[in-house]
Amino acid sequence: LVAVSDSSASDRGAAAFVVRLSAVKTRFLFQLTGVLDDCFCDVESIDVFNNFKIYPRIKKLTEKDYFRYYKVNLKRPCPFWPDDGHCAIKDCHVEPCPEVRGHYSQAANTMSDMVECEQAKELGAINSTLSNQSKEAFADWARHDDAQDHFCELDDETSPDAEYVDLLLNPERYTGYKGPSAWRVWNSIYEENCFKPRSVYRPLNPLSPSRGLCLEKRVFYRLISGLHSSINIHLCAEYLLDEGWGRSVWGPNVQEFRQRFDMAKTKGEGTRRLKNLYFLYLIELRALYKVAPYFERAFINLYTGNGQEDGATKELLLQIFNEIKAFPMHFDEKSMFAGNKIEAKTLKEEFRLHFKNISRIMDCVGCSKCRLWGKLQTQGLGTALKVLFSEREIQNLPEHSPSKGFQLTRQEIVALLNAFGRLSTSIHQLHNFRLLLKDHR
């Protein structure tokens, strides 16, 4: 990628990228082109915009101190079923269409598999290393946040078990864990979070393959499917390739990627899954566009106690907002959240409850790192929806003082930008897999 400060070089690089993108089309991803369902944005435009305008900046932003530390409670028990996780060192992914696997071989009880189980636990464990300086800073951050005019309280922030985690020390990648909770979690998310039937069917696109579904259920499914696809891409891109001689090596696993998304291996579902990733990207991109005025106010700062660093962090964030504003093909959320005031309020509450429920389901993931990133990205998506439902409140914000009409906590801000950063990374990694697939033909 070119330097983000050189816009002309970036434009030239983007033009060359389009040429290369056309040159590396494979049978596998050939259908991942053109206009997305339910909106008027094409895949190629998103690829160029993300990989050259957004990804370099969002990657740099999420490495800043304000965004690298996330406060989370990883000790909450699963509220839906007992912890019966099973360790396995292979195939660390979540199944898009879960199948009940009620039987395990007797070999699962052998000493060899016990060793693998311990290795998997070690890979999935949270690195809780924090400097004394960081711990002191967190107390200062809490005092600063407590003085702000918050919109709401978050359970994880007030829990005595909630702790700050350094996201840079705990990257989202293959962990070696694959237990019953993996498919149970996604089965619960897909099957148990249905919206109540609505009297009015409002199609986004009359030709949509999911035309028989109500608007709310279809949108909800596409958002969760997009999140699911993004997580699978991260695991495929950061797969454990070697752990010999006391040194673990992670990198892209093309075979695992094809297993998740190849048209032939997924019975034609691979392209749809990836298009849902792009749909989710546009939804969160639109939320950032809408929330920009909240951060553009002069008195809003991304506080860590280091004035120079805080200023640089906010400047970088505003650069990202400027790039987002210049994007010409934003998703029109009004088609999704249409309706009278009473209906819109009801829909907002339904979405809020669904994503709160998904966050609770994430507490059932047996792998700590998977749970961490699942909770963060779920909260990020929930925050994006909160923004989209709060357009009027954001427009009415006072310029020089806080307002009870709309407020974001530090936790929500960190989750929102990191969740979008994960989507940006997924789309960037898709191009890398295109190149690798070309070499594997």
Note the pLDDT tens digit of each residue in 145-188: 554 443 333 445 667 788 999 999 999 988 766 665 667 778 77
Kindly state the tokens that stand for 248: 């673990």
What integer pLDDT is reported at residue 57 of this predicted model? 98
What integer pLDDT is reported at residue 177 of this predicted model? 67
Contact 181, 364 (CB under 8 A): yes
Stronger pLDDT, 211 or 316, i.e. the higher one: 316
> What residue numbers does the annotated binding site cover?
173, 175, 186, 225, 228, 260
Any idea which residues carry the catalytic annotation?
367, 370
Kindly state the tokens that stand for 54: 């957004």
> What residue numbers does the annotated binding site for FAD cover?
173, 175, 186, 225, 228, 260
Q: Could you tell me how many helices (H) and strands (E) the chain has, helices first?
A: 16, 4
pLDDT band at 368 (very low <50, low <70, confident <90, very high): confident
Rounded CA gap, 203 and 225, in Å? 19
Looking at the predicted structure, is the pLDDT value of residue 421 above 90?
yes
What integer pLDDT is reported at residue 140 of this predicted model? 62
Stronger pLDDT, 287 or 131, i.e. the higher one: 287
Looking at the predicted structure, is the pLDDT value of residue 199 above 90?
no
Stronger pLDDT, 271 or 137, i.e. the higher one: 271
Looking at the predicted structure, is the pLDDT value of residue 367 above 90?
no
Rounded CA gap, 387 and 114, in Å? 46
User: What are the sequence ranges of the domains in the chain?
Assistant: 7-439
Looking at the predicted structure, is the pLDDT value of residue 294 above 90?
yes
Q: pTM value?
A: 0.78
Percent of the chain at pLDDT exceeding 90? 37
pLDDT band at 315 (very low <50, low <70, confident <90, very high): very high
Print burial letters for 30-49: b (CB count within 10 Å at least 16), e (below 16).
Answer: ebbeeebbbbebebbebbbb
pLDDT band at 313 (very low <50, low <70, confident <90, very high): very high
Question: Which range, of 39-48, 81-90, 389-398, 403-412, averages the lowest pLDDT?
Answer: 81-90
Residue 131 DSSP label: -
pLDDT band at 361 (very low <50, low <70, confident <90, very high): confident
Average pLDDT, the chain: 76
Question: Which are the contacts of 373, defined by CB distance < 8 A and separation ≥ 6?
Answer: 172, 231, 234, 422
Stronger pLDDT, 259 or 220, i.e. the higher one: 259
Stronger pLDDT, 415 or 150, i.e. the higher one: 415
Stronger pLDDT, 228 or 37, i.e. the higher one: 228
Kindly state the tokens that stand for 317: 């964030």
What integer pLDDT is reported at residue 155 of this predicted model? 46
Looking at the predicted structure, is the pLDDT value of residue 309 above 70?
yes
What integer pLDDT is reported at residue 207 of this predicted model? 34
Looking at the predicted structure, is the pLDDT value of residue 45 above 80?
yes
Looking at the predicted structure, is the pLDDT value of residue 50 above 90?
yes
CA distances from 402 to 129, 151, 408 (A): 35, 10, 11
pLDDT band at 366 (very low <50, low <70, confident <90, very high): confident
What integer pLDDT is reported at residue 132 of this predicted model? 63
Question: Which range, of 50-64, 126-140, 268-282, averages the lowest pLDDT?
Answer: 126-140
| Strand ranges, E, within 67-184 | 69-72, 163-166
Rounded CA gap, 307 and 313, in Å? 10
What integer pLDDT is reported at residue 337 of this predicted model? 59
What integer pLDDT is reported at residue 427 of this predicted model? 97
- Report H helices in 336-409: 341-362, 368-388, 391-395
What would the pLDDT profile of 331-348 be if each residue is shown by its tens digit? 877 766 566 677 767 777
Angle of helix 215-237 relative to helix 180-191, nearest 10 degrees, comes to 160
